[in-house]
């Protein structure tokens, strides 16, 4: 409507370069698309105007071919008055862009014959249900992945490279599935196994090993933003204590192959779906992670943003301040989505045997404020809520036309009065009784010690012990009262400790009883996300898996499946896998196996002698070879320990604190890791950023070289690997040693050139160390070889 | 291409990262080529950040009215409306508690005297005589403001964003990203001293390749993993280094055109050079006693900071782009004088003053000052009103920073706070104006550095403070 408010505006004196013919497709359409389509295209038609095609521009009467100076489009984009200028947000168009628009109109506003308006946003591929392509006629035992990838090769005239050498393949699949390389013995056994299903057996064994859950659980904890707590000094400001229970839940359930849909349900709503199942309640650590002491809006912004990006590949965060510029998500939808989470707060449920929730407990979500209103922040400014607007929980219309159906959930009493759980009552009882036994013993001791003294003195001396016993007796009485009527239990005896509500915790909110019902909002959301009919969930998950198996995703931006994102490189394949995933009960292991047993996965990553394919598809989008990837920080450290025979495979439990990490031999995922606390070594290799980590960075910086040469860990592990090799090959010649060292550290045998180079270096080193006596000399010489191999590019690379 | 050494490669790494995430549909975008956008006036930056919040009134912005009206409320002062709610609206509160971030309305007298220095006659606190003696080389800005009234303002001063907005690249990361390297043997963006409250990262969405490399002024242990933690002879290690280099090169045959392999080979070459050059750089054996004295290295009170500043000069000599020094460990920053302001600032001024004076003089006499910008800054000022009996609270509405060298004017004061030092009232500047000024002098246009998918706002870019540019 602003557009129709006419005002003649002085034109900037722009030189319309009428002489140069303007290409609509190159110079006009992209500018309009970038700056105008969001409001005047398929998504919105403000002032009933669309500018997304030549025909629409004419229909809207904003251009008059041949008369740029009379065309509303030009008047508007070049208006000096900000109130008149289009676009209203951001910078004005650049003078050269305006000049092109003018010249184009001057030259008759010609458009190509096939010029078409923007397609309907709802027709966007990712917003429509995936379809399993009926066409593929799979040969017997043909992997559908191969079928689709081959089709692409054929289309582009690509010739795939040869399969990877067996040793390379084995190291690849080990690191991929369990985050640890095979030992030399495992490699030998595989190379010697002539059975046709030798590889499949390995895959099955790896998927069944507990290290699988650690490896893939950690991948998803990246996406779900796992972080231990942090704050300022001892003050907790972010995440929660004991959040590692959620980490353990993740590992256990990856190992158990719990359906991905069910994982989502438990993380978002276990407190409504399984209100008394403490094992499942650990899953809501996902919601506890985003806790922020100081600002509830920041807290929920993160939940909204990352639930959108992580589960759905939607960027809700783009519409906090205004309607989404690319997708049919309104600003209202942002706050409606937030409203789903609005009632939830956190509490730490006691663990039987430990009455102090700071020492142990399970941080979990629960609906605390059932009627709390969700604000609508005008232009996203929390200081400026729209007081007249009621925001109710809902989902964007285009995804859920019939709206989110919410049914409140009645909770069992043990859920909202955990003191009713006998094991929790017992925990309190045992704690006090232990104390009272000790106090009585002290009293008896005191009485005995002072037995011979004058009565008044004696009474004075034992009085404190009497008082201690009395205090504890009163505590027991209070406990008995609380057991008799848990509704009246004092805060300290509730069996669960509430985390302070962001910004608004008051005496009243602190002591309010836990509600007897839950709103049902989150379980409703969880059921919708995990519904096989949801067009996004399975595709997003498949893409994450594909990225980690193949080194590149099918959809380039793993958290952006909206219209701003890229199209999949293999759309039919993505859809096929997404449907298959849901059909096979959302089994991740099923998908893993499909992927790693495909022929594509087993290709070599070398592009030697493949110039023709490299020319056609230099980025390997069509997967005519495997991608090389850099190992992530966890796998680098874990591999070092593993090859040295030092890895402590203890699973689960509280994280290893910073001070103990240097000496610890546990897997890296068990290290305390938060925004403030990072392990130095892991950090250098781009450890997960706890704020957002949909993909790890793969930087290559000199500090990595220094860390692998100079860190105590790398040096010590190199020495241990050397020791182990020496134990077997002390008397063997250098050539044998070099071969064994290669096979141990890199998983492959050396080439002739590599062997020669190593032998030459060893000879030089030996000469330099001639003053050192044997056997020390030989060992030190060979140690440098082992260290050089740890610093080999292919140690930190999966080929 | 040659000047785009390995650290320059990190720009390419970012391009690869954006590309892999599908951001580069905009084919026009390319990573910076390491060349400035316009003729630069400066090559390097020494950034001195005082953790905790320096009192502007007791350092560079004297307010005799505070003494005159000591004990009176702000309502009774010459600026009675200073605390009107609309004047306080820019604050974005993160931490609500009684200990800090409160309005203090009873005026606290100045705790120190001031003297005029130099030809310019600018007044500087008696706690800062050495800085005062360099005042004719300094452009003093007395009209800064920020919005986070807690120490998240430390991050804000470096990124331009309030901590509730999330994590953004710091100024040093932008410089590193935009300009890359002048020296192949040293990291181009280094950090010394403790970061108390803010995140230890700099690159954020520009990538970890643009994080500052933390170094220590200790030739025996200058950086993490800077030398073998388990002793090994140089000859042995060198042989190992060379072997891995040769083996990596041999793999090029099987993996032709593998950019990661090439980058790794280069990273090892640079690592080896760094390992050699850093100890040499931090060995002050060849510096004269006079120079060491100039920086205060001969006195316990000034030694630690003095060594960092002498190291900075040596880094600048070798072409390092951005040296970020944080002064003051402990709490949320050692300058955070909620109580005992006089003792606190006496001690801290003493620790930094002579080294800073020494640095400015040394840079000047060696001719380096004309290419080097020295910045003295802090997250916010302190309240004109008293906290407790003898402290000042955080204050975001007006505070002082200064810059020197690198084509900036000396001996000038720009901007002013009101009579009691409460609000910046003349030529007000948000923190990003400092960034913009520095980038401008380095020849960079922050708008040209913007990357796809990361739209920046006008306030993120700020505007160069033209009045202090020579």
On the question of a cis peptide bond just before residue A775, with omega within 30 degrees of 0, the verdict is yes
Tell me the residue range of the domain where A75 lies. 24-111
CB-CB under 8 Å, A757 with B241: no
Is A641 within the bounds of a domain? Answer: no
Centroid of chain to Cα B16? 29
Is residue A354 located within the same domain as residue A430?
Answer: no
Pick the CATH number of B34-219+283-468 from 3.40.720, 3.40.50, 3.30.420, 3.30.450: 3.40.720
| A364 and A310 in a common domain | yes
The verdict on a CB contact (< 8 Å) between B13 and A699 is yes
Using CA atoms, how far apart are residues A720 and A419, in angstroms rounded to an integer? Answer: 52
| Set of chain A residues whose Cβ sits within 8 Å of the Cβ of B241 | 709, 788, 791
Give the residue-averaged pLDDT of B91-99.
73
**CB interface of B with A, residues 328-367, below 8 Å:** 332
- Over 90: is that where the pLDDT of A456 sits? no
Pair (A356, A480) in one structural domain: no
What pLDDT does B32 receive? 85
Q: Which of A223-237, A334-348, A408-422 has the lowest mean pLDDT?
A: A223-237
pLDDT classification of A134: cutoffs 50, 70, 90: low
Residues in chain B within 8 Å Cβ distance of A699: 10, 13, 207-209
Which residues numbered 207-226 in B keep a CB inside 8 Å of some CB on A?
A: 207-209, 213, 223-226
Find the mean pLDDT for residues A477-494: 92
Long-range contacts of A663-670 (CB under 8 A, 24+ apart): A665/A641, A667/A179, A667/A214, A667/A634, A667/A638, A668/A633, A668/A634, A668/A637, A668/A638, A669/A214, A669/A217, A669/A218, A669/A221, A669/A247, A669/A634
- Closest Cα in chain A, distance from residue B118 (Å): 43
- Across the interface, whether the CB atoms of B255 and A606 are under 8 A apart is answered yes
- Count of the separate structural domains present in chain A: 5
B20 touches chain A (CB under 8 A): yes
Hey, is the C-beta of B244 within 8 angstroms of any chain A C-beta? yes
Q: Within its chain, how far is the Cα of A570 from the centroid?
A: 23
SS3 content of chain B, % helix, strand, coil (to 5): 40, 15, 45
- pLDDT tens, position by position, A26-39: 899 989 988 898 88
> Rounded distance, CA A334 to CA A249, Å?
30
**Residue A487 is encoded by which pair of tokens?**
């509704």
Question: How many CA atoms are closer than 13 Å to the CA of A776, on its beta-carbon side?
Answer: 5
A397 and A426 within one domain: no
Is the same domain home to A387 and A263? yes
Give the number of beta-carbon pairs within 8 Å between A and B.
Answer: 173
Band of pLDDT at residue B336, cut at 50, 70 and 90 = very high
The Cβ of residue B82 has, within 10 Å, a number of other Cβ atoms equal to 23
Contacts of B416 (CB under 8 A, 6+ apart): B142, B143, B424, B425, B426, B427
As given in the structure block, the two tokens for residue B277 are: 């050059």
Average of pLDDT values for A757-776?
92
Provide the pLDDT for residue B198.
67
- Does residue A791 sit at the B interface (CB-CB below 8 Å)? yes
Structure tokens at A197: 């299903």
Dihedral pair phi/psi, residue A428, rounded to 5°: -65, -45
Query: Which of B208, B221, B242 to mutate to test binding with chain A, by most A CBs within 10 Å of its CB?
Result: B208
What's the rounded mean pLDDT across residues A677-693? 93
Nearest to A295 among B164, B260, B332 (CB): B164
Cα radius of gyration rounded to whole Å, chain A:
33
Which pLDDT belongs to residue B1?
28
Question: Are residues A407 and A483 both part of a single domain?
Answer: no
Cα A770 to Cα A777, A782, B20, B230: the distances in Å are 7, 14, 51, 21
Show the tokens assigned to B157: 């001063």
The DSSP H or E segment spanning A155 is helix A144-156
Testing the interface with B: which of A295, A553, A566, A705 to mutate, by most B Cβ within 10 A?
A705
Do residue A703 and residue B225 have CB atoms under 8 angstroms apart?
yes
**Is residue A756 in a domain?**
yes
Torsion angle in degrees (nearest 10) through CA of B237, B238, B239, B241: 90
B-chain CB neighbours of A700 within 8 Å are 9, 13, 260, 263-264, 267
Structure confidence at residue A790 as a pLDDT band (50, 70, 90): very high
Q: State whether residue B267 sits within 8 Å of chain A by CB.
A: yes
pLDDT of residue A139: 78
For residue A699, is it within any domain?
Answer: no
Residues in chain B: 470
pLDDT bracket for residue A451 (50, 70, 90): confident
Cβ distance of B207 and A295 shorter than 8 Å: no
B275/A719 CB distance under 8 A: no
Shortest distance between the Cα of B364 and any Cα of chain A, in A, equals 33
Distances (CA, A) of A555 to A297, A561, B23: 31, 8, 12
- DSSP assignment of A364-394 equals EEEE--TTPPBP-BGGG-TTSB-TT--B---
Alpha carbon distance B14, A697 (integer Å): 10
Looking at residue A155, its pLDDT comes to 95
Question: Among residues A527, A549, A584, which one ends one of the domains?
Answer: A527
State ipTM: 0.87
Q: Could you state, in order of their start, the residue ranges of all structural domains in chain B? A: 34-219+283-468, 223-281
Q: pLDDT category, A16, cuts 50, 70, 90?
A: very low
* Co-location of A387 and A371 in the same domain: yes
Q: Report the residue of B163, B164, B225 to disrupt the A interface, i.e. the one with the largest count of A CBs within 10 Å.
A: B225
Q: What are phi and psi of A295, to 5 degrees?
A: -150, 110
Q: Is residue A133 part of a domain?
A: no
Q: Is residue A377 part of a domain?
A: yes
Provide the token pair at B204: 């954020």
For B90, name the nearest residue in chain A, comparing CA atoms only.
A383
**Which pLDDT does position A15 carry in this prediction?**
46
CA distance A137 to chain B (A): 32
Same domain membership, residue A377 and residue A344: yes
Q: Is the Cβ of A789 closer than 8 Å to some Cβ of chain B?
A: yes
CA distance B13 to chain A (A): 7
Residues A284-298 pLDDT 10s = 999 999 999 989 999
Q: Note the residue count of chain A.
A: 799
Identify the burial level of B278 via C-beta atoms within 10 angstroms of its C-beta, where 0-12 means exposed, 13-18 middle and 19 or more buried.
buried
Q: Is A754 on the interface with B (CB under 8 A)?
A: yes
Q: What pLDDT shows up at residue A19?
A: 60
pLDDT one-digit tens code per residue, A201-222: 999 999 999 999 999 999 999 9
For residues A394 and A428, membership in a common domain is answered with no
Above 90 in pLDDT, residue A567? Answer: yes
Per-residue pLDDT, B15: 65
Question: What is the spatial distance between Cα A705 and Cα A635, in angstroms, rounded to a whole number?
Answer: 16
Do the chains contact at B267 and A701, CB–CB below 8 Å?
yes
Residue B28: band (very low, low, confident or very high) from pLDDT cuts 50, 70, 90: low
A779 in a structural domain:
yes
* Nearest CB to A710; choose among B6, B228, B260: B228
Question: Nearest CB to B236: which of A552, A707, A765?
Answer: A765
- Nearest residue of A to residue B452 by CA position? A564
Task: Pick the residue from chain A with its C-alpha nearest to B168.
Answer: A691
Query: Which of A678, A711, A784 lies closest to B225 in CB terms?
Result: A711
Q: Does the pLDDT at position B10 exceed 60?
A: no
Asked if B96 lies within 8 A of A719 by C-beta distance, the reply is: no
The predicted structure's pLDDT at residue A4: 38
Q: Is the pLDDT of residue A761 over 70?
A: yes
Query: Which position has the token pair 């002082």?
Result: B400
What chain A residue is nearest to B11 in terms of C-alpha separation? A699
Whether A702 and B267 lie within 8 Å, measured CB to CB: yes
- State the nearest Cα–Cα gap between B220 and chain A, in angstroms: 14
Does residue B97 or residue A390 have the better pLDDT? A390
Q: Which residue of B has its CA nearest to A620?
A: B20
Kindly list the residues from chain B whose CB atom is less than 8 angstroms away from the CB atom of residue A232: 197, 332
Task: Tell me which residue of A96, A72, A95 sits closest to A84, measured CA to CA.
Answer: A72
List pLDDT tens digits, range A723-753.
Answer: 999 999 989 999 999 999 999 999 999 999 9
Nearest chain B CA: its distance from A526 CA (Å):
27
**B236: nearest CB among A556, A780, A792:** A780
A634 close to A683: Cβ distance less than 8 angstroms: no
Among the residue ranges A72-81, A194-203, B427-436, the one predicted with the least confidence is: A72-81
Please state the pTM of the whole predicted model: 0.88
Does A506 reach chain B within 8 Å, measured CB to CB?
no
User: Among all residues of chain B, which has the CA nearest to that of A618?
Assistant: B257
Confidence of residue A701 (pLDDT cuts 50, 70, 90): confident
Are A275 and A391 in the same domain?
yes
Nearest chain B residue to A777 by CA distance is B236
Tokens coding A401: 């036309």
Residue A495 neighbours by CB distance under 10 Å:
24
Closest CB to A628 among B9, B258, B332 = B258
Q: Are A598 and A145 in contact (CB under 8 A)?
A: yes
Q: Between chains, do B10 and A699 touch, taking CB under 8 Å as contact?
A: yes
A587 found inside a domain = no
Residues of chain A positioned with their CB less than 8 A from the CB of B176: none
Q: Give the pLDDT of residue B93.
A: 78
pLDDT at A398 (0 to 100):
93
Q: What is the pLDDT of residue A401?
A: 92
The pair of structure tokens assigned to B297 is 């290295």
Q: What is the distance between the alpha carbons of residues A569 and A590, in angstroms, rounded to a whole number?
A: 22
Residues A271 and A392 in one domain: yes
Cβ neighbours of B10 in A, within 8 Å: 699, 701
Place of tokens 């509280």: A654
Q: Which of residues 78-107 of B touch A (CB under 8 A)?
A: 94-96
Q: Are B380 and B149 in contact (CB under 8 A)?
A: yes
**Cα B172 versus chain centre, distance:** 8
Query: CA–CA distance from A700 to each of A63, A737, A791 (Å)?
Result: 52, 30, 13
Range of lowest pLDDT (A160-174, A579-593, B205-219): B205-219
Domain shared by A423 and A404, yes or no: no
Q: Which residues of A touch B173 (CB under 8 A)?
A: none
């Amino acid at each position: 409507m602003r557009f129709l408010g006419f005002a003649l505006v002085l034109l900037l004196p722009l030189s319309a370069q009428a002489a140069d013919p303007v290409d609509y497709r190159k110079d006009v359409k992209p500018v309009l698309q970038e700056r105008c389509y969001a409001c005047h295209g398929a998504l919105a038609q403000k002032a009933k105007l669309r500018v997304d095609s030549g025909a629409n521009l004419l229909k809207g009467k904003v251009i008059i071919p041949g008369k740029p100076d009379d065309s509303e489009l030009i008047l508007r984009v070049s208006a000096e008055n900000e109130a008149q200028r289009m676009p209203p947000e951001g910078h004005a168009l650049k003078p050269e862009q305006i000049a092109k628009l003018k010249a184009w109109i001057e030259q008759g506003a010609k458009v190509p014959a096939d010029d078409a308006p923007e397609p309907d946003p709802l027709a966007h591929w990712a917003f429509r249900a995936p379809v399993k392509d009926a066409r593929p006629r799979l040969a017997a035992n043909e992997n559908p992945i191969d079928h689709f990838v081959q089709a692409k090769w054929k289309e582009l005239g690509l010739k795939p490279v040869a399969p990877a050498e067996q040793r390379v393949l084995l190291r690849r699949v080990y690191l991929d599935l369990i985050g640890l390389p095979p030992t030399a013995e495992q490699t030998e056994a595989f190379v010697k196994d002539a059975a046709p299903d030798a590889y499949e057996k390995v895959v099955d064994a790896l998927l069944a090993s507990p290290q699988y859950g650690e490896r893939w659980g950690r991948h998803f904890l990246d996406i779900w933003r796992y972080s231990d707590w942090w704050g300022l000094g001892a003050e907790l400001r972010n995440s929660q204590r004991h959040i590692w229970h959620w980490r353990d839940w993740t590992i256990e359930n990856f190992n158990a192959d719990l359906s991905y849909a069910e994982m989502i349900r438990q993380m978002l709503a276990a407190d409504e779906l399984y209100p008394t199942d403490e094992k499942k309640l650990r899953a809501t650590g996902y919601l506890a992670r985003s806790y922020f002491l100081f600002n509830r809006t920041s807290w929920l912004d993160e939940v909204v943003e990352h639930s959108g990006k992580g589960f759905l590949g939607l960027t809700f965060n783009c519409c906090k301040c205004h309607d989404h510029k690319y997708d049919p998500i309104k600003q209202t939808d942002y706050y409606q989505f937030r409203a789903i989470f609005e009632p939830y707060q956190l509490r730490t449920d006691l663990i039987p045997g430990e009455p102090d929730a700071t020492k142990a407990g399970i941080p979990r979500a629960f609906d605390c404020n059932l009627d709390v209103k969700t604000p609508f922040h005008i232009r996203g400014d929390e200081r400026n809520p729209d007081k007249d607007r009621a925001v109710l929980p809902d989902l964007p219309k285009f995804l859920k036309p019939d709206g989110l159906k919410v049914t409140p959930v009645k909770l069992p009493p043990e859920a909202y009065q955990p003191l009713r759980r006998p094991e929790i009552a017992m925990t309190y009882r045992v704690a006090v009784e232990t104390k009272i036994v000790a106090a009585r013993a002290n009293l008896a001791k005191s009485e005995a010690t002072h037995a011979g003294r004058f009565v008044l003195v004696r009474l004075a001396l034992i009085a404190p012990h009497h008082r201690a016993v009395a205090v504890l007796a009163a505590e027991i009485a209070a406990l008995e009262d609380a057991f008799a009527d848990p509704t009246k239990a004092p805060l300290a005896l509730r069996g669960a400790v509430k985390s302070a509500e962001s910004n608004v915790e008051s005496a009243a909110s602190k002591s309010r009883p836990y509600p007897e019902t839950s709103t049902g909002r989150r379980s409703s959301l969880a059921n919708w996300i995990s519904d096989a009919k949801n067009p996004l969930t399975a595709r997003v998950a498949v893409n994450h898996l594909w990225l980690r198996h193949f080194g590149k995703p099918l959809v380039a931006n793993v958290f952006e499946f909206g219209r701003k994102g890229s199209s999949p490189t293999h759309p039919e394949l993505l859809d096929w896998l997404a449907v298959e995933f849901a059909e096979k009960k959302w089994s991740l292991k099923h998908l893993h196996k499909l992927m790693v047993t495909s022929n594509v996965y087993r290709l070599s990553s070398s592009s030697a002698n493949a110039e023709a394919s490299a020319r056609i598809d230099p980025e390997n989008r069509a997967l005519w070879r495997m991608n090389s990837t850099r190992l992530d920080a966890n796998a680098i450290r874990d591999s070092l320990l593993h090859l040295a025979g030092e890895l402590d495979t203890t699973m689960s439990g509280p994280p290893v604190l910073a001070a103990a990490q240097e000496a610890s031999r546990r897997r890296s995922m068990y290290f305390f890791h938060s925004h403030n606390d990072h392990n130095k070594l892991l950090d250098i290799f781009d450890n997960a950023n706890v704020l957002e980590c949909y993909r790890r960075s793969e930087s290559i910086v000199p500090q990595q070289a220094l860390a692998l040469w100079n860190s105590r860990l790398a040096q010590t592990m190199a020495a241990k690997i050397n020791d182990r090799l020496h134990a077997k090959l002390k008397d063997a010649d250098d050539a044998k040693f070099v071969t064994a060292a290669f096979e141990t550290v890199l998983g492959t045998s050396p080439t002739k050139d590599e062997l020669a180079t190593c032998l030459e270096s060893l000879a030089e080193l030996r000469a330099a160390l001639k003053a050192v006596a044997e056997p020390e000399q030989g060992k030190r010489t060979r140690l440098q070889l082992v260290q050089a191999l740890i610093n080999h590019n292919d140690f930190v690379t999966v080929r | 291409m040659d000047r785009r050494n390995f650290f320059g490669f990190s720009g390419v790494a970012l391009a690869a990262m954006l590309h892999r995430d599908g951001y580069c549909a905009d084919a026009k975008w390319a990573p910076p080529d390491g060349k400035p956008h316009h003729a630069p006036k400066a090559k390097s930056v020494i950034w001195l950040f005082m953790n905790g919040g320096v009192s502007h009134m007791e350092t560079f912005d004297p307010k005799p009215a505070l003494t005159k009206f000591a004990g009176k409320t702000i309502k009774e002062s010459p600026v009675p409306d200073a605390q009107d709610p609309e004047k306080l609206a820019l604050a974005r509160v993160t931490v609500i508690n009684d200990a800090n971030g409160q309005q203090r309305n009873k005026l606290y007298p100045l705790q120190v005297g001031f003297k005029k220095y130099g030809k310019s006659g600018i007044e500087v606190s008696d706690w800062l005589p050495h800085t005062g003696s360099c005042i004719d080389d300094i452009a003093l800005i007395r009209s800064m403001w920020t919005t986070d009234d807690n120490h998240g303002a430390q991050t804000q001063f470096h990124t331009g964003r309030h901590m509730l907005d999330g994590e953004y690249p710091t100024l040093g990361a932008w410089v590193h990203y935009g300009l890359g390297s002048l020296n192949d043997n040293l990291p181009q963006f280094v950090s010394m001293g403790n970061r108390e409250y803010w995140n230890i990262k700099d690159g954020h969405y520009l990538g970890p390749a643009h994080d500052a490399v933390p170094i220590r002024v200790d030739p025996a242990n200058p950086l993490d993993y800077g030398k073998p933690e388990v002793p090994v002879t140089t000859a042995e290690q060198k042989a190992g280094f060379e072997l891995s280099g040769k083996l990596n090169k041999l793999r090029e045959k099987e993996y032709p055109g593998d950019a990661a392999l090439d980058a790794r080979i280069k990273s090892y070459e640079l690592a080896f050079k760094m390992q050699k050059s850093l100890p040499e750089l931090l060995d002050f054996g060849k510096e004269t006693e006079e120079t060491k004295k100039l920086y205060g290295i001969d006195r316990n009170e000034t030694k630690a900071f003095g060594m960092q500043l002498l190291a900075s000069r040596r880094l600048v000599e070798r072409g390092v782009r951005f040296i970020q020094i944080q002064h003051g460990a402990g709490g949320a920053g050692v300058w955070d004088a909620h109580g005992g302001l006089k003792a606190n600032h006496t001690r801290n001024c003493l620790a930094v003053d002579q080294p800073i004076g020494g640095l400015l003089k040394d840079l000047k006499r060696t001719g380096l000052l004309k290419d080097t910008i020295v910045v003295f800054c802090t997250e916010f000022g302190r309240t004109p009103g008293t906290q407790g009996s003898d402290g000042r609270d955080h204050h975001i509405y007006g505070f002082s920073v200064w810059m020197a060298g690198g084509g900036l004017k000396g001996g000038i004061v720009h901007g002013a706070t009101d009579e009691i030092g409460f609000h910046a009232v003349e030529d007000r500047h948000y923190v990003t104006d400092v960034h913009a000024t520095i980038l401008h002098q380095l020849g960079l246009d922050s708008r040209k550095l913007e990357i796809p998918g990361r739209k920046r706002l006008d306030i993120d870019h700020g505007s160069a403070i033209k009045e202090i540019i020579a």
